[in-house]
Amino acid sequence: MVKIKNIQFNNFRNFKNFKTSFDNKLNILFGDNGCGKTNILEGISLVAKGRGIRNSNISNLIKKKENNFLIKNSLEIQSNNYNIEIYSEKKNEKFKKIIKINDDLSKDSLDFLNQAISYLIFLPEMERLFQSSPSYRRNFLDRLIFSSRNDYNRLVNKYKKFLLERMKIMQVNNVDYVWLNNIEKEICSLGLEIYSLRNSQLNSLNNELNILKKYHKFQFNIELEIKDDFYNNNIDFESYLSNLKNLRSYDKQYGGTKIGPHRSDLFATINGEYEASILSTGQQKTVVLMILLAQCNYLVNNKNITPIFLFDEIGSHLDKYNRQILLDMINRFEIQFFLTGTDKNLFSFVSTNAQFYNITGL
């Protein structure tokens, strides 16, 4: 089990100095718009690999007019305590995020931390998940994969880098075909890996959603599906490669790669009848919460991972169905929650002992 015991910010976002300890179970941060609730969740999320829940540039995390930020926290991982320091460092005019674990910068301890930490995130934009862009939905799915495989983002970034590289090679007058062939081979093997990981993520979600139905009276029956014009299970490396080769002049003309996992989209069919895009925002929130509940079940039962929940602006749009799902998450798992909302009263339905934090004016 992983718990964040306390946190301290120096020159992080709107906070000059901020310090608080946290409850092992349920933490509710409330306060006026702009007081720093999302910033606190972001600060917590930075202990994991990557750039946090907003995927922000490191320089934007530093309080305006200051030089660097420092976040200290103590973590409990399987009953052992670790002191973590996360800070910005400027190298060659670029800011980097550095993490120290018990004063240790070694790769081994960083790997250990990355293995141990996993987050499940709800952001207010997710209330429109099925009305937003395909890339937002792909990111949503990719984040879920990332919650059980901390090397997944590197895979996706590498794939994107090779797509750009391919475009660059094709744009010059004297095309280096040996190089181009090699890059396309890299694209195909990484692309197939991404397709396959997304498929297995989706299968486990559908599977968990089915299991959950047995002891939970959900309002919706959800069937998730990846739609992709190119991919089907029969596509192998060679046919992927020849498709890519045939599309060279087309791709060059249109300035993008027509086929590949960067073109996939995530769909949800509700009650076997209609698409989730016609649901209201509150109902889309239900679908997203159900998916997060399913993912949590999968992580805890199949992967032996206890994620930390960071749910931003979860307080609004909570009808009895959404409250039930949220309460089920809180009661079912022995994990730590961080929930935010503008008003304390939005959380009065939570009967478990919760720790409330008023962030206004800190």
Ligand X SMILES: Nc1ncnc2c1ncn2[C@@H]1O[C@H](COP(=O)(O)OP(=O)(O)OP(=O)(O)O)[C@@H](O)[C@H]1O
Using CB under 5 A as the binding rule, whether residue 39 contacts Mg ion is answered as no
Asked if residue 226 lies in contact with residue 137, where contact means CB atoms within 8 angstroms, the answer is: no
Segments in the chain forming alpha helices (H): 37-45, 58-61, 107-116, 134-146, 152-171, 177-215, 237-246, 248-254, 281-302, 320-332
Provide the minimum distance between the beta carbon of 11 and ligand X in the complex, in angstroms, as a whole number.
8
Neighbours of 88 (CB within 10 A): 20
Identify what 203 binds: Mg ion, ligand X, none; CB under 5 to 8 Å per kind: none
Q: How many residues bind ligand X (CB under 6 A)?
A: 14
Nearer of residues 29 and 84 to ligand X, judged by Cβ: 29
Task: Report d(CA 146, CA 153) in Å as an integer.
Answer: 7
Using CB under 5 A as the binding rule, whether residue 38 contacts Mg ion is answered as yes
284: exposed, middle or buried (Cβ count in 10 Å: 0-12, 13-18, 19+) = buried
Task: Report d(CA 102, CA 357) in Å as an integer.
Answer: 28
Provide the minimum distance between the beta carbon of 358 and ligand X in the complex, in angstroms, as a whole number.
11
Task: Report d(CA 111, CA 49) in Å as an integer.
Answer: 9
Backbone angles phi, psi at 47, to 5 degrees: -70, -25
Using CB under 6 A as the binding rule, whether residue 64 contacts ligand X is answered as yes
Question: Taking CB under 6 A as the criterion, which residues in 83-102 touch ligand X?
Answer: none
Provide the minimum distance between the beta carbon of 10 and Mg ion in the complex, in angstroms, as a whole number.
21
Question: Taking CB under 6 A as the criterion, which residues in 33-62 touch ligand X?
Answer: 33-39, 60, 62
Question: Taking CB under 6 A as the criterion, which residues in 331-350 touch ligand X?
Answer: 342
Nearer of residues 37 and 285 to Mg ion, judged by Cβ: 37
Using CB under 5 A as the binding rule, whether residue 45 contacts Mg ion is answered as no
Nearer of residues 31 and 260 to ligand X, judged by Cβ: 31
Provide the minimum distance between the beta carbon of 351 and ligand X in the complex, in angstroms, as a whole number.
25
Nearer of residues 181 and 360 to Mg ion, judged by Cβ: 360
Segment (H or E) for 96: strand 94-101
Q: Name the site residues for ligand X (rule: CB under 6 A).
A: 13-14, 33-39, 60, 62-64, 342
Residues within the interface to Mg ion (CB under 5 A):
37-38
